[in-house]
Chain A
Amino acid sequence: MIPLTYYLVISAILFALGALGVLIRRNPLIIFMSVELMLNAANLAFVAFSRAFNVLNGQIFVFFVMTVSAAEVAVGLALIVVIFRTKHSIDVDLMSSLKG
């Protein structure tokens, strides 16, 4: 069978790629997608540890992470829509003022 370390390596690589996406991309939608990628990498590590130690708590945490990320995506996309409505663009460089 596959060692736990392999799963953790995959999880680490996916997390690093997500972090790279947040740093280099300028489209806020793609930044959001990269955040989702990082959350997924964390979930993969949770499930792998849950399997390795033979307890179900890790899977419960993944369930909660999924709920939180669903709520986060809904609110975040609503914010992007509102920003687009006021500025008519969603480039992250334009989001530099607190006043609309």
Chain B
Amino acid sequence: MDLTLILFIVLAITAIATAIGLLVSRNAVYAALFLVLNFATVAVFYLLLGAPFIAMAQVTVYAGAIMVLFLFVIMLLGAEKLPKGQALPWQRPLAIVLTVVLLAEAGILLFQRLSITTALSNPEAALNTEGAVRGLGAMLFSQYLLPFEVTSVLLLVAMIGVIVLTKENKA
């Protein structure tokens, strides 16, 4: 058993445990912190997969910006603990059954039809970080230039939308 596999298993257990923690925690702030840990774990997965730029973007954009926004809104609204309303009695069992069906479908696809068992080779190439980032940048500004520019419009629209939505109604 080599070191990478051990690291992978530890990360996998952490990722799944934090995801379950997100689901079961009663306090929304704890849920947000579990999600931050989950994002950090996925970032390490990206490093293992030889995607350093995506890993850093994951840490800064998700674990940094998005989760800070979440925590800010949770504390602004004081919504850490919602009063427990009466849940629909069949909601939870039905949700669990549906999730198990979804997982079973994914498992069938993965192990019967896809059957990709080839190991991801050459870890040396993954360490060649400079080349990977350079390739990504070149691709982003040539082949994917139009989507990249459309992204800026999307962010602008989202920004204006948020300002308009949260504006106090003076009239």
Across the interface, which residues of A come within 8 angstroms of B16, CB to CB?
10, 13-14, 17
Q: Decide: A71 and B155 in contact? CB cutoff 8 A.
A: yes
Q: Decide: A68 and B154 in contact? CB cutoff 8 A.
A: yes
- The smallest C-beta distance from B41 to any residue of chain A, in angstroms, reads 10
Chain B interface, number of residues (Cβ within 8 angstroms): 81
Across the interface, which residues of A come within 8 angstroms of B49, CB to CB?
7, 47-48, 50-51
Q: From known contacts A3-B120, A14-B16, A74-B158, infer whether A90 and B77 are also in contact, taking CB-CB under 8 Å.
A: yes
Q: From known contacts A26-B87, A51-B49, A77-B69, infer whether A1 and B23 are also in contact, taking CB-CB under 8 Å.
A: no
In this complex, the interface size class of chain A, counting residues with CB under 8 Å from chain B, is 35 or more
- The smallest C-beta distance from B88 to any residue of chain A, in angstroms, reads 9
* Chain A residue at smallest Cβ distance from B12: A10
Q: Decide: B162 and A74 in contact? CB cutoff 8 A.
A: yes
Q: Decide: A30 and B103 in contact? CB cutoff 8 A.
A: no
Complex CA distance for A12 and B104, rounded to whole angstroms: 10
User: B-contacting residues of A (Cβ < 8 Å)?
Assistant: 1-10, 12-21, 23-27, 29-30, 32-34, 36-37, 40, 43-44, 47-48, 50-52, 56-57, 59-60, 62-64, 66-75, 77-82, 84, 90-91, 93
Contacts A15-B106, A74-B159 known; list 8 others, CB within 8 Å: A6-B12, A10-B45, A40-B38, A48-B49, A67-B154, A72-B158, A80-B73, A84-B79
Q: Can you pick out 12 interface pairs between chain A and chain B where the beta carbons lie within 8 Å of each other?
A: A1-B4, A3-B119, A7-B49, A13-B19, A16-B102, A24-B91, A32-B70, A33-B70, A37-B38, A47-B54, A73-B70, A84-B77
